[in-house]
Amino acid sequence: MSDYTTPPTLNGRLVGVTGKAPTAEVVVWLAVQTTDGEASTLETITDDEGFFSFEPPTEPLRAAKLGAVLEGVQPLDLEPNDEPLEPGEIMLFVDDFTPSHLKYAG
């Protein structure tokens, strides 16, 4: 019997609300802070359909946020509550309803 265990994986997809936002080859990031106060950021790039995957730290986390380097994406607080992140699937949405040049018109 092997002592090897598969690391937990957080799989996701970047999706445009209207389907107009580009979601291929976008940098997606996962920023974490352990309960010891150590902070780090993991980055990956979405595939042609907007899918991404992370192997998050296995230790308990004080904070964890997921975001993307793309206008219209608000960082998502994963609220780890001093627990390790559990493996699973998540969708990260791009607000592409309103063109950026109209969002802040006053």
CA distances for 88 relative to 6, 10, 31, 69, 99, angstroms: 13, 5, 17, 22, 32
Would you place residue 1 in the very low, low, confident or very high pLDDT band (cuts 50, 70, 90)?
Answer: very low
Would you place residue 96 in the very low, low, confident or very high pLDDT band (cuts 50, 70, 90)?
Answer: confident
Q: What is the pLDDT of residue 39?
A: 96
pLDDT in tens, 26-49: 999 999 999 999 999 999 999 999
Percent of the chain with pLDDT over 90: 60
